[in-house]
Amino acid sequence: MFYYAIDLLGTFAFAISGVLTAMNKRLDPFGIFIIAFVTALGGGTIRDVIIGVQPVTWLVNPMYFYTIIIAVFFAFFFREKLKYLRTSLFLFDTLGIGLYTVVGVEKGLAAGLIPLMCITLGTVTACFGGVIRDILCNEIPLIFNGTIYATPCVIGGISYFILKYFNVESDIIFMVPIIVVIVIRLLAVRYNITLPNIYKTKAS
């Protein structure tokens, strides 16, 4: 039940992120819904296809679809308040990657994958909805432009297995990696930490 709540909360957070991006691009209502949908479920859909889940999770559980609809209406009705919160998009996106990292790792374990593959699956689940969102909105995806975006997910996944190795309580195993991902992402943005840029040239 706790795992399911995390999954739905991640769906809500990413859907809000998608709505805010679509609104910034001044898309019509249908476009807003589509961007919210692919942001919230894109990574999970890719994950399910990779591990052979058929049909994919959201097709057999309408709660994911309903959650996105609620998120779209929430963002629409509170758009004026969200508009003045310049960090809204960043915060919802950060919350989403934290939640979905754990969801992806858990799905990997359920599929019988080794820890390395589970961490990879968690990263895909967390990041690729945002990749699809950015591509559709004609932006370079954050994961490809030097932003510390996928790295927190990898570290969060590693922390999950460290806690599991020491037989920590399941609720803590769920929550700590989420916090790790969110904190690393926040610190990276706060202190402008990025991955090395191999295209920088030395000043003559």
What number of other Cβ atoms are within 10 A of residue 79's Cβ? 14
Residue 63 makes CB contacts below 8 A (sequence gap 6+) with: 8
Q: What is the mean pLDDT of the chain?
A: 91
Give pLDDT tens digits along the chain (204 positions).
Answer: 678 899 999 999 999 999 989 998 999 999 999 999 999 999 999 999 999 999 999 999 999 999 999 999 998 888 777 765 556 778 889 999 999 999 999 999 999 999 999 999 999 999 999 999 999 999 999 889 889 999 999 999 999 999 999 999 988 999 999 999 999 999 999 999 998 877 765 544
Q: Is 164 contained in some domain?
A: yes
Residue 204 lies in a domain: no
State pTM to two decimals.
0.91
Q: What is the pLDDT of residue 146?
A: 87
User: What pLDDT was estimated at residue 204?
Assistant: 43
**CA 20/CA 36 separation, integer angstroms:** 9
pLDDT tens profile 186-198: 999 999 999 887 7
Number of domain units in the chain: 1
| Residue range of the domain that includes 150 | 2-190
Check whether the bond before 141 is cis (ω within 30° of 0).
no
**Which amino acid is present at 88?**
S
Measure the CA–CA gap between 21 and 36, rounded to whole angstroms.
9
Q: Examine residue 105 and state whether it is found in any structural domain, yes or no.
A: yes
pLDDT digits (tens, 9 = 90+) for 73-94: 998 888 777 765 556 778 889 9
Residue 198 in domain = no
Answer yes or no: is 177 within a domain.
yes
Q: Minimal CA–CA distance to 12: which of 79, 69, 55?
A: 69
Which pLDDT does position 86 carry in this prediction? 52
